[in-house]
Amino acid sequence: MRRLQLQDDTMTGPDVSDWQSFLQDQNTLTGNADGVFGLQTDTATRTYQTKARLTADGVVGVNTMAQALLNGYQSTTGANIGGMDCSTNSRAFAGQIAALGMKFVARYYSDNAEKALTAAEAQALSGAGLSIVAVFENSNDSAGLFSAATGQSQAATALRLATAVSQPAGSAIYFAVDFDATGTDVPGPITNYFTAVKTALAAAATQYAVGVYGSGLTCRVIRDAGLARFTWITGSIGFAEYATFRKQADIVQLAPERTLISGLSIDDDIAQSAEFGAFRLAIPAT
């Protein structure tokens, strides 16, 4: 679990909701468990810390969580595996990322070479004991960028890069829908896109599962249509069907973006399923 606290860039997500529910059970929070770490949650956290004889700093860190677990705190996020995603090469940070408690790193396949996961980076992350989640994204942030032809093209790029990285068969490649798609967008161009993606991956020499990243609406429709095995819900809680789909997602992205290590900005993620399509490369013995 990430450290929770009041800050200018407001923290939101299912981990905040879980913490708020715990505070309600402790009779320190009277407001709703709305997943937003605001002033009321900060005050309730400090009240709980005072009652528990902890430092009343409003920060839900290791010591506060350890005590909360003794007092009955429960997570609703399934497997509750902590990880991160980032758009920059994390090879140089692999050891530090692992030391900070991350279990997986989500990285991109893309036509943008600066954004794309490399073989050397995948080896470094795997060598540090980290699992990798592969996700394809160029821009992918408007309905006009989705079509069957685009799905076919982007699937081909993803497969080429997966081969270059030596991504093992059976793991997943997620494909991003990085906007609040409407009830017209999803069964239209986005479904056409994922139909082409699934067809391309099914015909590939190495078999990969398809994953979808997007709003709750996008994840639900694409999953239920049989076009993706895994779902990863965006951290944008205002997107369609966030509240109703969040507990079903294999991965939940959390907000806001933060600096994990100087030079490395990330989004936090929680894997709610024990199996979510991640992989780790075999590292030859030296």
Q: Decide if pLDDT at 1 tops 70.
A: no
What pLDDT digit, counting tens, does each position of 43-72 carry?
Answer: 999 999 999 999 999 999 878 987 888 898
Mean pLDDT of all residues belonging to the chain: 94
CATH superfamily of 81-271: Glycosidases (3.20.20.80)
Q: Using CA atoms, how far apart are residues 4 and 243, in angstroms rounded to an integer? A: 20
Residue 220 and residue 162 in contact, taking contact as beta carbons nearer than 8 Å: no
What pLDDT digit, counting tens, does each position of 223-265 carry?
Answer: 999 999 999 999 999 999 998 998 899 999 988 899 999 999 9
Structure token pair of residue 16: 């905040």
Q: Decide if pLDDT at 13 tops 90.
A: no
Output the pTM of the full model. 0.82
Domains of the chain by residue range: 14-70, 81-271
CA atoms within a 13 Å half-sphere pointing along the CA-CB vector of 274: 0
Counting every residue written for the chain, the total comes to 286
| Pairing relationship of beta strands 104-109 and 131-136 according to DSSP bridges | parallel
Confidence class of residue 279 from pLDDT cuts 50, 70 and 90?
Answer: very high
Structure token pair of residue 218: 């996008």
pLDDT confidence of residue 2: 78
